[in-house]
Structure 1
Amino acid sequence: MAQGCLKCLKYTMCVANLLCFICGAVVLGFGVYMTLNFKFAALTPTLASFNLANMLLISGIVITCVSFLGFLGALKENRCLLLTYFLLLFILMLVELTAACLLLVYEKEIGELVKKDLVNGLKVANNPNATDTNVERDWDVVQKKLQCCGVNNETDWKPKPPLSCCAADCDLPKPQYWKKGCLITLQNFFEDNFLTTGISVIVLCIIEVLGMCFAMTLFCHISRSGLGYKL
């Protein structure tokens, strides 16, 4: 009975980690796609290293590596791999919780950094002698995607807003522009998704705790029975 339960646990770990490996590969591929097609380093240089594309790339690499260790360790009943898998999951959980706490503590400071970058980027885009076209391109993409205009509203643009600010009657002499600024739109977006992000972090931590429990159970069983590869 115990052997049957442990075999079930072993193959459950294999299947779960294989699925995680596939998901990690998909996340990694999506991160590469976003890196090639969505570049906002010119618009928010302060946070350029922490954009969504970089986060997806890092997450994809970490997920694929850790899940591969878990799959191989469970399949081969390798105590060294299982222990490494356990430690990596524990470190990942600590990093996730630390990052979540830092975001809560420094939420206002991060908001100020984003505002400063947007204001500076708008100054460059408003400068008729500016040679950096990347800032203008980034502003056009952000304003079209978020349906916003300027940092606070359309009056931020001088002498008039670009076409990406247009909401209706774009062909008329006096088109209608988006009323909301991009700063408040971004703030509302993060506030609306704050609960979802918190729930996702909690669920992820629960999955990691279960993975650690399964790995340690297999590790202890292999150690007691003398099966599998030695440390």
Structure 2
Amino acid sequence: MESCGMNVIKYILFIFNLVFAISGIGIIAAGACVLADVGEFGHFVEGRIMAPPIVLIVAGAIVFIIAFLGCYGAIKEHYHILIAFAAALLIIFVIELAVGIAAAMFKNDFSMAMKDTLKESIKNYSETDRMAWDNVQKKLECCGVDGPNDWTPANGFMLSFPSSCCKQDPQVICRVGDDASVYQMGCFSKLEMRVHKGATVLIGVGIGIAFVEIAGIILACCLAATIKRETDHK
């Protein structure tokens, strides 16, 4: 006959895994939102900055699958499946922790790499660069890397700014010296804020899911130990 304690742990773990499966969907959604938000300006954003949300999407998909493994192991009281479930959660936890630490350590490097990419793009200014600049300047309401001075004749440009720098009608040509009609904030600052905002979302979701994973590991190990004791006593 099953002990009352094992029944309680079993059903708590089952309910936990249902919540865990839903959280897996939430993780995928959060990673996808950040990827779409930052990825829109992929021309200026290095691939390694896109890695954390991609890792989070993959982790969310794995979490969703593993949650069903935990549900099955709990209901069937299968010792080995529960141990495999706890081990899988531990591996995901370690991967998420490693990604989080790497992202925190290289945060300044990411910013500097993005600024270098922006400067290189404005220096080359091919047709692809022009389209990318028009996109970022219109959507983020910014101008140049650090400000509108990046488009001045001193840097090899004409006496007018790109139309995407204009606050008013984009068909109106904004001329150098007409500061009132031009966005004054540089695109680097705006992009950096966008990336940091996405990073904050990812860190928040990562910390939340980490606590859930630790709880799942503890519950699975407790149930597995109880099942082993019950089996040994038979």
TM-score scaled by length of structure 2: 0.72
Aligned counterpart in structure 1 of residue 227 of structure 2, from 191, 197, 222: 222
The letter for the 1-side match of 2:43 is: A
CA 1:203–1:38 in structure 2 vs 1: closer, same or farther (change >3 Å)? closer
Q: Which residue of 2 aligns with 1:156?
A: 150
Secondary structure of the 1:149 match is coil
Question: Structure 1 stretch 165-174 or stretch 177-186: which is displaced more?
Answer: 165-174
Moved more, 113-122 or 161-170: 161-170
The residue number in structure 2 matching 1:210 is 215
Q: Secondary structure at the match of 2:143?
A: coil
Q: Report which structure shows greater RCO (CA 8 Å, sep ≥6).
A: 2
What secondary structure sits across from 2:71 in the alignment?
Answer: helix
The one-character-per-residue Cα deviations of 1:158-179 (angstroms, maximum 9, x if unpaired) are 4444444333454544372322
The 5 A counterparts of 1:181-200 are 181-189=186-194, 200=205
SS in 1 for 2:144: coil
Q: Give the number of the structure whose alpha-carbon radius of gyration is greater.
A: 2
Tell me whether 1:76 sits opposite 2:76 in the alignment.
yes
Aligned: 1:95 with 2:100:
no
Cross-structure match for 1:112 = 112
Query: In structure 2, do the counterparts of structure 1 residues 109 and 209 end up closer, same or farther at CA, with 3 Å as the change threshold?
Result: same
Whether the 8 Å contact between 1:170 and 1:176 is mirrored in structure 2 is no
Match of 1:13 in 2: 13
Correspondence for 2:140:
146
CA contact (8 A) 1:46 1:113 kept: no
1:211 is displaced (CA, Å) by 0.9
Contact 2:161 2:173 in 1 (8 A): no
Question: Residue type of the partner of 2:109?
Answer: E
| Residue range with higher mean Cα deviation, 213-222 or 40-49 | 40-49
Q: 1:97 to 1:47 in 2, by over 3 A?
A: closer
- Unmatched 5+ stretches in structure 2: 152-156, 175-179
Distance 2:44 2:173 in 1: 29
| Corresponding residue for residue 57 of structure 2 | 57
* Cα 1:137/1:173, change in 2 over 3 Å: closer
Deviates more, 1:189-198 or 1:173-182: 189-198
1:22 and 1:50 mapped to 2: Cα distance? 23
Inter-CA distance 41–184: structure 2 relative to 1 (3 Å threshold): closer
- Partner deviation per Cα, 1:116-162 (whole Å, 9 max, x = no partner): 222223334x23xx4xx3x4444344334433222211232444444
Structure 2 CA distance for partners of 1:139 and 1:61, relative to 1, 3 Å? farther
